[in-house]
Structure 1
Amino acid sequence: MRILVQRVSEASVQVDGQMIGQIGAGLLLLVCAMQGDDEAAADKMATRVARLRIFKDDDGRMNRALTDTGGAALVVSQFTLAADTRSGNRPGFSSAAAPDDGKRLYERFAESLRNQGIHTETGQFGADMKVRLLNDGPVTIWLDSADRA
């Protein structure tokens, strides 16, 4: 599972001009399930995100996690994180999970965040979405479940 984590002051997502998800301070999470991912990977990544210490403490150091701050999460599916750009000018996406698996794991990831007490809003899987954010920092971090044993 690949996740692009962005610390935000606010973020929202629209589909067909309708606001479907909106948060204040917290994390915008662009999520892509990859071939071979399973529910355990989704749960593990949700825990990593919830515990990722990228919020400032009283001394101004990035030492607090989303679970410490009471911040929210906006989870948006983005299969293009699977892009393979090693050849040619057109990215390939064959390493992304099949749509049914991708949707199931995307939903599992969001539910796992909720189960950890994090207010979680979502986009709409497979939809053409318009995402707005006010990046805080900016802080942007790339997570890939394949990078950890």
Structure 2
Amino acid sequence: MKRTTPLRRSAPMARGTKPMKRAQMRRGRPKPRAGHDPKMRKACEGQRCWLILPGVKCAGRDTVVPCHANWGEFGKGGNLKAHDRFTVPGCMNCHRELDHGKRFTRAERYEFWTSAYRAWAPYRDMKILAQDAPEFEDIPV
């Protein structure tokens, strides 16, 4: 068989670049997920562990991450993560126990997370408002 159309020529790839996978070429950038809010997750950075589960030794500030709610009423379901506004800062030990631990029942874990969220949410909102507040030093008096 003889080819009737010529092959497309493309520029050679630069060194050190990885070829894109076929799915990446088709899709381009991934869509932002619903409930994704970087401000909410960034508010958890540098915080102490707010979960403080009884009998679990907190790992320290350098391991604190946003712990999402694991219940459907907060937007969790199937492969979906809960919305970022439903996060509480927690150290890796408390987060692991909350998500995968067998020490507490599901109802107890729900109560621990919601009590931590009730304490954290007003503090987080004040922190975000303070970051978004305009600087008043630039206004002439």
The structure showing larger relative contact order (alpha-carbon pairs under 8 Å, at least 6 residues apart) is 1
What TM-score, normalized to structure 2? 0.26
What TM-score, normalized to structure 1? 0.25
Q: Highest CA radius of gyration, 1 or 2?
A: 2
Q: Which has the higher strand share?
A: 1
